[in-house]
Amino acid sequence: MLKIYNTLSGQKEVFKPIVEGKIGMYVCGNTVYDFCHIGHARAMISFDVISRVLRNLGYDLTYVRNITDVDDKIIKRAAENNELPSDLTERMIAAQQEDEKALGNLSPDREPKATEFMQEIIDMIQSLVDKGYAYQGDNGDVYYRASKFADYGKLNNRKLEEMLAGARIEVTESKEHPADFVLWKPVKAGEVHWDSPWGKGRPGWHIECSAMSTNCLGDHFDIHGGGPDLKFPHHENEIAQSEAATGKEYVNYWMHCGAVRVNNEKMSKSLGNFFTIREVLKLYNPEVLRYLMVSSHYRSPIDYSDQSLNDAKVALERLYNALRGQALSTAPESSDYRVRFEKALRDDFNTPVALSVLFDLVRDLNKAKTESPELAESLAAELSALASVLGLLYQDADYFLKNSLVSSEGMNSDDIEALIEERTLARKNKDFARSDEIRDLLADNGIELLDSREGTSWTRK
């Protein structure tokens, strides 16, 4: 029995798909005007894990995550770069895909772009106009009448007036009500635009997701996800638009991941604590960042710091050390580890508890290495199989242990291997002074040597 925390009800609920055995899940993706930051990584990894778990539990999942490729920020950044908006977005989409591949994420089943659904967007706006839920202001903008939708505020469990207090709401004389929001904007000089019944222009942000999600998954689907900052106004507006346009319930389960804080402060460029994924991956193996995100429950806030990354590195090294040089047999279809692991994940995707099962498995695996090699092979296979459900342990163990810390400073792998070869030759020639000198030199550079009958291996401290 799978339980999911539903933002709409504010509690865990037993999951019941609309169609038995099948799930439609839509997640709000990125506005592609810049490189992805660690907040993006939180959402991307959280829903990648959720999609993996759902499939592991036997569901036929269709995972859709959109790309916003027309937006004020895109137009502004493209103008600053003196390039076409389409050139900017294609470059940033390619960069995002590179980041996700490095982090071990699987691609969604569909990644619709807003610019590919312009007619569907226009059709949905026209439906809202025809039903009296939208109107064109004297400034040319087409607005949604928030006050006409009786359930406005149900996702955030607040009344319309309460949500307006303290919210950043664009106030203009062209609106009938301060809470009304833009569905269509008239074109400005030099901007990308499309023809519509309300003149040349482009869509507002909220209507894009309503059109893309319903066209990809139907008017009523199972799960809608996103970051914590999207609950209001974006997701609240999506509900209002979609249900008014279709006359149907929009989504059954709303899921939101927790925010990322940096050294216990909100991440902000103005505070100088803003990090892109690419900046982090210059220092750490990408799986370290993935482990950090998985080690916290997806709904919990997570603190990003040098200490938290180093803790993640140490934990991941413990898992990989258990697999290093270990033969794998066939993982059992059922075991106490798997039962406990899946029980944790069925409880609203509780990855911290699932990880604790993996470390119990590692303890027993290390013990079995000396007592029962055959059992060790089975446990190693199970460790690898269960970890893959979380998108972990996807690298060669020896490679990861040599490259868990990536630094532009110090020795690279070729330097280290050359010194180890020189040390091996020195030991063979009984030049122990040189052998010790090389070991000390490597230790000073954070390299730990592990001697065995098979030779010398190494890891970064």
DSSP state of 179: T
CB 238 within 8 A of CB 121: no
Instruction: Measure the CA angle with vertex 128, ends 126 and 133; round to 5°.
Output: 140
Q: Does 234 count as an annotated binding residue?
A: yes
Kindly give the pairing relationship between strand 265-266 and strand 260-262: antiparallel
Q: How far apart are CA 388 and CA 404, in angstroms?
A: 18
Retrieve residue 132's tokens.
């009296």
Helical segments of 177-335, H only: 205-217, 236-246, 277-281, 286-294, 306-323
Q: Which residues are registered as beta bridge partners of 262? A: 265, 304
Give how far the C-alpha of residue 229 lies from the chain's centroid of Cα atoms, to the nearest Å: 14
Q: Does 209 count as an annotated binding residue?
A: yes
CB 261 within 8 A of CB 234: no
Q: How far apart are CA 127 and CA 119, in angstroms?
A: 12
Kindly give the pairing relationship between strand 221-226 and strand 22-27: parallel
Retrieve residue 183's tokens.
């569905």
Residue 282's alpha-carbon distances to 41, 267, 286, 406, in angstroms, are 15, 19, 9, 6
Preceding omega of 186 cis (within 30 degrees of 0): no
Q: How far apart are CA 207 and CA 209, in angstroms?
A: 6
Q: Which residues, other chains included, contact 99 with Cβ-Cβ below 8 Å and sequence gap of 6+? A: 35, 36, 41, 277, 278, 281
Retrieve residue 162's tokens.
């309460």
Q: How far apart are CA 355 and CA 295, in angstroms?
A: 7
DSSP state of 232: I
Q: Does 317 count as an annotated binding residue?
A: no
Q: Does 269 count as an annotated binding residue?
A: yes
CB 305 within 8 A of CB 64: no
Give how far the C-alpha of residue 87 lies from the chain's centroid of Cα atoms, to the nearest Å: 24
Instruction: Measure the CA angle with vertex 422, ends 421 and 428; round to 5°.
Output: 90
Q: Which residues, other chains included, contact 295 with Cβ-Cβ below 8 Å and sequence gap of 6+? A: 312, 315, 351, 352, 355
Residue positions forming the annotated binding site for ATP: 269
Residue positions forming the annotated binding site for Zn(2+): 28, 209, 234, 238
Residue positions forming the annotated binding site: 28, 209, 234, 238, 269
